[in-house]
């Protein structure tokens, strides 16, 4: 993320809003209390992540999706064919800004004069129309391992590759939802071949870029923050490649890029 992303949000409201979201999304929506948020995802039939978002319960019959990548209009349009007879409306809202704010308890939700504020522990993330924003939240969330789906990565990754079980964004012990069978199979039988990592790059690299070495593709960058000398990033890496990154060792990639592992997250 070389520039601060906009707040792309979708409002789901109506008498069946909670039931609809619980049936479509991967988290336990029916346990989400008003004034709280949780990580959640919408998966395709193959179990890959179509959308990743903060799911906010702003009222008893209202949910707000703050997307971590993608655009609200496209997600809203893709959700509508699944409404059937549910008594809900799905509305993409106009993009706003995202800015860092003061520390608030993790998963808390606060409606301030400047906009909705999501507590993230060491900081908070505010949706605002202000022209002045503080993008300091990006580095904090990158180091927490909170991924952002950059353009071109939707419908690409399984939840385990993004460490979503660790974020409680996918549930095994709830009813069916799109992709649930794949999620359960991977949970019980294994077969994970990619995982999320924090990495340091010797030179800036575009978010979403594929990572290759002499043997071929070894992973893909997600969000990237560039400094004066190098770059920090989240990356989905092949397990076989990540296993070589021990004791702070740097490994060469194509185009003279060097990569060092800083953090590895379990699923």
- Per-residue model confidence as pLDDT tens digits over 157-192: 999 999 999 999 999 888 899 999 999 888 888 778
User: For 239-267, how does the pLDDT look when each residue is reduced to its tens digit (9 = 90+)?
Assistant: 999 999 887 888 999 988 999 999 988 66
Q: What is the 3-state secondary structure (H, E, C) of 172-228?
A: CCCCCCCCHHHHHHHHHHCCCCEEEEEEEECCCCCCCCEEEECCEEEEEEEEEEECC
Q: What's the chain's average pLDDT?
A: 92
Q: Name the residue with higher pLDDT: 6 or 45.
A: 45
- The answer to whether residue 125 scores a pLDDT higher than 70 is yes
Distance between CA 212 and CA 220 in Å, rounded? Answer: 9
Q: How many CB atoms lie within 10 A of CB 149?
A: 24
For residue 1, what pLDDT is reported? 56
User: For 102-123, how does the pLDDT look when each residue is reduced to its tens digit (9 = 90+)?
Assistant: 999 999 999 877 789 999 999 9
Distance between CA 177 and CA 163 in Å, rounded? Answer: 19
DSSP character string of 135-158: TTHHHHHHHHT-----TT-TTT--
Q: Name the residue with higher pLDDT: 183 or 131.
A: 183
| Phi and psi angles of residue 132, each rounded to the nearest 5 degrees, phi first | -105, 120
For residue 2, what pLDDT is reported? 46
Q: How many CB atoms lie within 10 A of CB 162?
A: 31
- The answer to whether residue 3 scores a pLDDT higher than 70 is no
For residue 192, what pLDDT is reported? 82
- Which whole number is the average pLDDT over 44-61? 97
Contact residues for 67 (Cβ-Cβ < 8 A; gap 6+): 8, 9, 10, 51, 52, 53, 75
User: For 7-21, how does the pLDDT look when each residue is reduced to its tens digit (9 = 90+)?
Assistant: 999 999 999 999 999
For residue 57, what pLDDT is reported? 98
DSSP type of residue 112: E
All domains in the chain, ordered by first residue: 9-188 (3.30.1360.120), 193-264 (2.40.30.110)
3-class secondary structure, 233: strand
Phi-psi region of 22 (alpha: psi -120 to 50; beta: other; left: phi over 0): alpha
Q: Name the residue with higher pLDDT: 33 or 185.
A: 33
Distance between CA 32 and CA 48 in Å, rounded? Answer: 23
Phi-psi region of 119 (alpha: psi -120 to 50; beta: other; left: phi over 0): beta
For residue 140, what pLDDT is reported? 94
Residue 109 near residue 118, CB atoms below 8 Å: yes
Contact residues for 99 (Cβ-Cβ < 8 A; gap 6+): 4, 125, 126, 128, 130, 132, 133, 134, 135, 137
HSE-up of 75 (CA within 13 Å, CB side)?
Answer: 29
């Amino acid at each position: 993320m070389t520039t601060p992303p906009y707040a792309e949000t979708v409002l789901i409201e109506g008498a069946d809003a909670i039931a609809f979201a619980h049936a479509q999304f991967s988290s336990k929506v029916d346990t989400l209390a008003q004034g709280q948020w949780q990580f959640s995802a919408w998966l395709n039939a193959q179990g890959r992540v179509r959308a990743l978002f903060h799911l906010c319960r702003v009222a008893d019959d209202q949910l707000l999706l703050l997307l971590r990548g993608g655009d609200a209009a496209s997600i809203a349009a893709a959700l509508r064919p699944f409404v059937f007879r549910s008594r809900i409306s799905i509305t993409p809202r106009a993009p706003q800004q995202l800015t860092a704010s003061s520390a608030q308890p993790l998963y808390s939700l606060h409606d301030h004069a400047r906009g909705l504020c999501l507590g993230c522990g060491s900081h908070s993330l505010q949706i605002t129309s202000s022209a002045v924003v503080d993008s300091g939240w990006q580095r904090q969330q990158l180091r927490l391992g909170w991924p952002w789906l950059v353009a071109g990565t939707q419908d690409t990754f399984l939840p385990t590759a993004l460490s979503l079980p660790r974020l409680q964004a996918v549930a095994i012990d709830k009813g069916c939802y799109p992709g649930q069978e794949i999620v359960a199979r991977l949970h019980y039988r294994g077969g994970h071949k990619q995982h999320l990592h924090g990495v340091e790059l010797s030179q800036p690299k575009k978010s979403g870029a594929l990572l290759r070495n002499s043997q071929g593709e070894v992973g893909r960058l997600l969000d990237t923050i560039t400094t004066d000398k190098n770059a920090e990033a989240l990356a989905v890496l092949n397990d076989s490649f990540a296993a070589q990154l021990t004791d702070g060792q740097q490994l060469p990639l194509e185009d003279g890029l060097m990569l060092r592992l800083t953090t590895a997250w379990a699923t």
